Copies of this chain bind each other. A is one copy, B any other.
Amino acid sequence: MAAASTSRLVPAATTKKPAASGRVRRPGAKGAGIPKGMMPPPDRPLVNPGLSRAQLLEIHRFMRLNRMLEDKLTALYRQGRISGGLYSSLGQEAISVGTAYALAPDDLLAPMIRNIGSMLVRGVTPLDFFQQYMGRYESPTHGKDGTLHFGNVERLSIIGPISHLGTLVPVMAGAALAARLRGEAHRCSLTYVGDGATSTGYFHEGLNFAAVLKLPFILVVENNGYAYSTTCDRQFRVASIAERGPAYGVASESVDGTDVLAVYAATQRAVQRGRRGEGATLLETRCLRMQGHAQHDDMRYVPKALLEAWAKRDPLERYERFLVASGHATPDTLRATAEAIAPELDAAADAAEKCPPPSPEETLKGVYKEEGYEAPWWPAA
């Protein structure tokens, strides 16, 4: 602590406040416009932070796979072949893939519900996801949970989320702490929160815990403009969540979440800080949630103009334009990637559908440790 000099007035906010009165704009409401700051950041050219061609193309493949896998899940959902919640990461693929790709395989990663791309990078397969969404016995949860609610620590260094927002923040701080205790201090730990989940007490307790213990922890904020129907001006009164870094004494940064290379590079910087023992990073990524909160939500409340503006910033198309312009790919090779993925996904979905559901008595198993009933039981793990 520095000496508290005398009365020292800190300005109320370092940048423009989102709203000037107690009454807050509602973009969905009649006659309301688009809140300032919700429009996309300037469209800067993508810059290769030193990745090889193979790496660049691998990133592309993951992003394409992310998108096509979710498209397939949506189709299955509409056909009634999967049930439960289905949350889309359309427009946010660069964040999942860019952050996960910047990690070493043994860095710890915990996805939230829109981070199917992060899990793909880690090696979870489409078959795993289909089984999971279809509640099959051989899914990563034996049908006991759905969506991305699973993990595998030993082989994939993934910790799975629960629904309760924010809970993973301290959990992943603890994972980083454990790595240090085990003499594996090089292992960083990364997880995600949405703009909405920054309001949870866990965001504060977990980030502060990591800051005080100087843990190599990276908290990625996916600021996609909405928490369900709620805009950011009802969620916090700062222009960017990166402004909260100084409040915790951690590094913070805000990047364009539709630029996969910028996301990758920022995550790399955070990883390097972590590995150098410089502690935690709060990394805001800006984007727009391009679909409803989940399948049932028609997102009537999102202004058309906003969607259109961000549609031009589609992270996959942007990245493809970069790859072509920089000579790393041609439209044909990119199309070939997609064409190779499609049958793979169809086959995986069909295979999953043929897998048996759990037997009803499975319900009673595995609440506590049972001999001979040990995870992970799923093939990919």
A237 and B262 form a contact (CB under 8 A) = no
Whether A199 is near chain B, meaning CB under 8 Å from some CB there, is yes
Whether A213 is near chain B, meaning CB under 8 Å from some CB there, is yes
A8 to B166, CA, bound (A): 24
State whether A15 and B2 are in contact (beta carbons under 8 Å apart), knowing that A22-B277, A211-B237, A237-B250 are contacts in the complex.
yes
Within 8 A of B (CB), among A207-233: 208, 211-215, 223, 232-233
Q: Which stretch in A31-39, A315-323, A326-334 binds the other chain?
A: A31-39
A5 to B10, CA, bound (A): 24
B9 and A239 form a contact (CB under 8 A) = no
| Chain B CB within 10 Å, residue with most, of A4, A6, A211 | A4
B16 and A2 form a contact (CB under 8 A) = yes
A381 to B254, CA, bound (A): 52
Residues of B within 8 A of A9 (CB): 251-253
Residues of B within 8 A of A243 (CB): 10, 246-247
B249 and A247 form a contact (CB under 8 A) = no
B201 and A7 form a contact (CB under 8 A) = no
Picked from B1, B203, B253, the residue with its CB within 8 Å of the CB of A204 is B203
A252 to B40, CA, bound (A): 31
A214 and B4 form a contact (CB under 8 A) = no
B199 and A6 form a contact (CB under 8 A) = no
State whether A12 and B246 are in contact (beta carbons under 8 Å apart), knowing that A37-B2, A37-B3, A44-B6 are contacts in the complex.
yes
Within 8 A of B (CB), among A74-99: none
Q: How many copies does the complex hold?
A: 2
A374 to B223, CA, bound (A): 49
A214 and B21 form a contact (CB under 8 A) = yes
Q: How many residues of A contact B (CB 8 A)?
A: 77
A213 to B266, CA, bound (A): 33
Whether A11 is near chain B, meaning CB under 8 Å from some CB there, is yes
Whether A340 is near chain B, meaning CB under 8 Å from some CB there, is no
Residue of B nearest to A5 (CB): B41
Whether A293 is near chain B, meaning CB under 8 Å from some CB there, is no
Residues of B within 8 A of A36 (CB): 1-2
Whole-angstrom distance between the Cβ of A32 and the nearest chain B Cβ: 15
Q: List 14 A-B contacts (CB under 8 A).
A: A1-B36, A1-B233, A4-B242, A4-B255, A6-B255, A8-B240, A12-B246, A201-B204, A201-B205, A203-B204, A237-B248, A237-B249, A237-B250, A238-B246
**What 5 A-B pairs come out closest when comparing CB atoms?**
A201-B201, A1-B37, A237-B249, A204-B204, A247-B247
Given contacts A4-B41, A4-B242, A237-B279, 8 further A-B contacts (CB under 8 A): A3-B37, A5-B254, A6-B42, A9-B251, A9-B252, A208-B236, A236-B248, A237-B250
